[in-house]
């Protein structure tokens, strides 16, 4: 196993398709068969495994960064404003 792409990732289009499959894999949007195929590919392709690792890190950082809750008053203000807009649209 070198640092080159495997035969399934030789073209830019193939690599882009594989990256999309990695996103679907991380999102839990694949069938069991597809999951097995992606896992096998990740074990065979260092380039895609690296992309997978990077995406895991990015998602982890985003998840940690998005934990702050909006203030309750902001939520109330937004709901009131939406109600006003809806009422205005009815008249």
pTM over 0.85: no
pLDDT digits (tens, 9 = 90+) for 50-91: 999 999 999 999 888 877 788 899 999 999 999 888 877 665
C-alpha distance from residue 19 to each of 13, 24, 78 (Å):
10, 9, 37
Residue whose structure tokens are 């495997």: 6
3-state secondary structure (DSSP) of residue 28: coil
- Which tokens belong to 84? 């006003």
Domain 7-90 has CATH 1.20.120: no
Rounded to whole angstroms, the Cα distance separating 33 from 24 reads: 13
Domain boundaries, the chain: 7-90
| 28: number of Cβ within 10 Å | 7
């Amino acid at each position: 196993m070198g640092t080159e792409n495997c035969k399934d990732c030789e073209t830019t289009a193939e690599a882009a398709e594989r990256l999309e499959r990695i996103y679907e894999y991380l999102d839990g949007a694949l069938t069991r068969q597809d999951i097995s195929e992606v896992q096998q590919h990740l074990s065979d392709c260092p380039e895609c495994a690296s992309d997978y690792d990077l995406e895991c890190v990015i998602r982890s950082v985003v998840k940690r960064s998005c934990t702050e809750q909006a203030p309750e008053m902001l939520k109330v203000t937004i709901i009131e404003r939406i109600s006003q807009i809806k009422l205005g649209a009815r008249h």
